[in-house]
């Protein structure tokens, strides 16, 4: 899942980013409300973690602009203890949930899982790929009810290919999905993940095809 964090506390944002990347998410971090608003308008996200008190545009203004564009991306607000009125305003503007600082990272992870499941009920929650089922909310792969284990980076690659099923996906797009926009990742790393994923999926008669010099696309035989 691609998560955008808009938070001007560099230490907090960096810590959240490291933790969420360890869980297999792609993370982009913006420190200014103007930059966050522009990024979300141009690039989008699967989930937004948005601080209320930001330089430039406030978090509430970023949220208002997001919803004004018809964007229904789940938004988790980060607020201070004394910002009750702002929390109410945020929920009225369309925020999906909020956390009061300071908070435990485990609680943040639980809120993200809940928002992901809620998002899944609005779209296709479980995707059928040949004999396999991919649960978007749980970010798990199954066959006949039994879990199919995939390392988190390979799972993120698969998720990106599924999101663009039927399309050619360049290596740079895969790298951005796995590591976050603009991450300094060599294309060879993506090639390694593709190679490993290809071998795992071959056991289930599924293929990832290569268009040399351009990228990859997912072939489920349909």
Indicate if 56 and 26 belong to the same structural domain.
Answer: yes
In this prediction, residue 85 carries a pLDDT of 86
Choosing from 101, 121, 141, the residue where a domain stops is: 121
Indicate if 108 and 130 belong to the same structural domain.
Answer: no
Q: Is 165 helix (H, G, I), strand (E, B) or coil?
A: coil
In this prediction, residue 182 carries a pLDDT of 65
Indicate if 114 and 33 belong to the same structural domain.
Answer: yes
pTM, to two decimals = 0.66
Instruction: Calculate mean pLDDT across residues 107-112.
Output: 91
Structural domain total, the chain: 2
In this prediction, residue 121 carries a pLDDT of 44
Indicate if 107 and 143 belong to the same structural domain.
Answer: no
In this prediction, residue 23 carries a pLDDT of 83
The CATH number covering residue 10 comes to 3.40.50.2300
Phi, psi of 23 (to 5 degrees): -85, 0
Residue 122 pLDDT > 50, yes or no? Answer: no
Indicate if 130 and 153 belong to the same structural domain.
Answer: yes
Residue 75 pLDDT > 50, yes or no? Answer: yes
pLDDT in tens, 2-32: 899 999 999 999 999 989 988 878 889 999 9
Indicate if 132 and 165 belong to the same structural domain.
Answer: yes
Residue-number span of the structural domain to which 71 is assigned: 2-121
Cα separation, 99 vs 111, in Å, equals: 9
In this prediction, residue 219 carries a pLDDT of 78
pLDDT in tens, 181-209: 666 778 889 999 999 999 999 999 899 99
Q: Give all strands (DSSP E) within 71-150, no chain letters.
A: 75-79, 97-100, 126-129, 132-135, 140-143, 146-148
Residue 216: both structure tokens together: 């990859």
Other CB atoms within a 10 A radius of the CB of residue 120 amount to: 15
- Smallest Cα–Cα separation from 200: which of 138, 132, 136, 125? 132
- Kindly state the percentage of the chain with pLDDT values over 90: 41
Instruction: Calculate mean pLDDT across residues 132-158.
Output: 85
In this prediction, residue 151 carries a pLDDT of 86
Instruction: Calculate mean pLDDT across residues 162-185.
Output: 81
pLDDT in tens, 40-66: 998 888 899 999 999 999 999 999 999
Choosing from 93, 121, 149, the residue where a domain stops is: 121
């Amino acid at each position: 899942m691609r998560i955008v964090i808009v938070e001007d506390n560099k230490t907090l944002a960096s810590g959240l980013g490291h933790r969420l990347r360890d869980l297999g998410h792609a993370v982009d971090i913006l420190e200014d409300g103007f930059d966050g608003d522009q990024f979300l308008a141009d690039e989008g996200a699967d989930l937004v973690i948005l601080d209320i008190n930001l330089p430039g545009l406030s978090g509430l203004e970023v949220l208002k602009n997001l919803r004004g564009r018809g964007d229904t991306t789940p938004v988790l607000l980060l607020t201070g203890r004394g910002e009750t009125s702002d929390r109410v305003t945020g929920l009225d503007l369309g925020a999906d949930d909020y956390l009061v600082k300071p908070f435990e990272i485990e609680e943040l992870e639980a809120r993200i899982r809940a928002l992901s499941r809620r998002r899944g009920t609005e779209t296709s929650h479980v995707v059928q790929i040949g004999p396999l089922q991919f649960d978007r909310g749980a970010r798990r792969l199954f066959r006949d009810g039994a879990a199919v284990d995939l390392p988190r980076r390979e799972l993120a690659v698969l998720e990106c290919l599924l999101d663009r099923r039927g399309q050619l996906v360049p290596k740079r797009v895969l790298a951005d999905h796995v590591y976050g926009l603009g991450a300094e990742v060599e294309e060879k790393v993506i090639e390694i993940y593709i190679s490993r994923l290809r071998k795992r999926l071959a056991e289930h008669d599924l293929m990832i095809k290569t268009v040399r010099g351009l990228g990859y696309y997912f072939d489920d035989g349909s």
